[in-house]
């Protein structure tokens, strides 16, 4: 077998395996993302005192959520890099830009995980929680504004990626539609949570993020079929 034939075979093998890496990583990342939030008892809560009250008896769950969220953000990186490198995909020109934006957004996910880790540390036995309130208020206010652009990149990149797949005909338009569903749940749910007892903010947050995770995992399935 000639050297050229070997190189051609190697390239073909890599071309087939790259979408698989993207698929497995993206499905795993999306799944861990949502499961991690299931462990967060303060999803959607921003009041510092309320955060401490809820987290104190559930510190183990918060720590588990932090670990899952960090694992999730880690998996998004090889998923998006594999998409960017999959130049043989027929819809590659449409998806590499949104994939790049989502990679930037993982930084926001990591910082958000450390915000939860901070609440875990501040509610440790023997810690004066009243002395930590100002710090937590800062984390839920000015600090959140600093990392907000990165968090926006995560969701905007994901939505843009879904739209790109749909426009390329690789996935149903219901896939990017799940992001519209997520926005609807967030807006309507927030209004209901603040004015009625029909639903609480945690449930609204979980349903919103569940729609996002479902859209991303769906793209992973599509990528797996490209092998």
Half-sphere exposure (Cβ direction) of 71: Cα atoms closer than 13 Å: 16
Q: What is the mean pLDDT of residues 28-50?
A: 90
**Dihedral (C-alpha) 188, 193, 198, 204: value to the nearest 10 degrees?**
60
pLDDT tops 50 at residue 5: no
Stretch 200-209: mean pLDDT, rounded?
90
Can you give the pTM of this predicted structure? 0.87
Q: What is the pLDDT of residues 87-142, one digit of tens each?
A: 676 677 788 899 999 999 999 999 999 999 999 999 999 989 999 899 999 998 99
Sign for the pseudo-dihedral over CA of 222, 104, 109, 143: negative
CA distances from 107 to 70, 99, 142 (A): 10, 14, 17
If one compares 227 and 25, the residue with the highest pLDDT of the two is: 25
Q: Domain spans of the chain?
A: 15-224
What does the pLDDT look like over 54-97, one tens digit per residue? Answer: 999 999 999 999 999 999 999 999 999 998 887 676 677 788 89
């Amino acid at each position: 077998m000639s050297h050229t034939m070997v190189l051609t075979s190697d390239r073909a093998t890599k071309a087939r395996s790259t979408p698989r890496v993207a698929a497995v990583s993206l499905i795993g990342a999306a799944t861990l993302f949502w499961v991690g939030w299931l462990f967060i008892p303060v999803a959607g809560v921003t009041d510092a005192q309320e955060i401490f009250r809820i987290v104190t008896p559930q510190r183990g769950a918060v720590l588990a959520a932090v670990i899952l969220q960090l694992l999730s953000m880690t998996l998004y990186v090889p998923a998006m890099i594999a998409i960017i490198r999959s130049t043989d995909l027929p819809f590659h020109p449409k998806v590499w830009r949104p994939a790049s934006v989502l990679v930037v957004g993982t930084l926001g996910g990591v910082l958000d995980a450390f915000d939860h880790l901070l609440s875990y540390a501040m509610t440790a036995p023997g810690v004066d929680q009243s002395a930590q309130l100002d710090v937590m208020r800062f984390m839920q206010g000015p600090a959140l504004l600093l990392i907000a652009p990165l968090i926006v990149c995560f969701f905007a990149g994901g939505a843009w990626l879904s739209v790109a797949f749909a426009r390329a005909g690789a996935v149903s338009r219901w896939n990017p539609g799940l992001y519209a569903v997520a926005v609807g749940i967030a807006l309507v749910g927030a209004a209901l949570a603040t004015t009625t007892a029909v639903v609480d903010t945690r449930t609204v947050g979980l349903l919103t993020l569940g729609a996002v995770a479902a859209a991303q995992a769906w793209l992973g399935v599509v990528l797996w079929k490209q092998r």
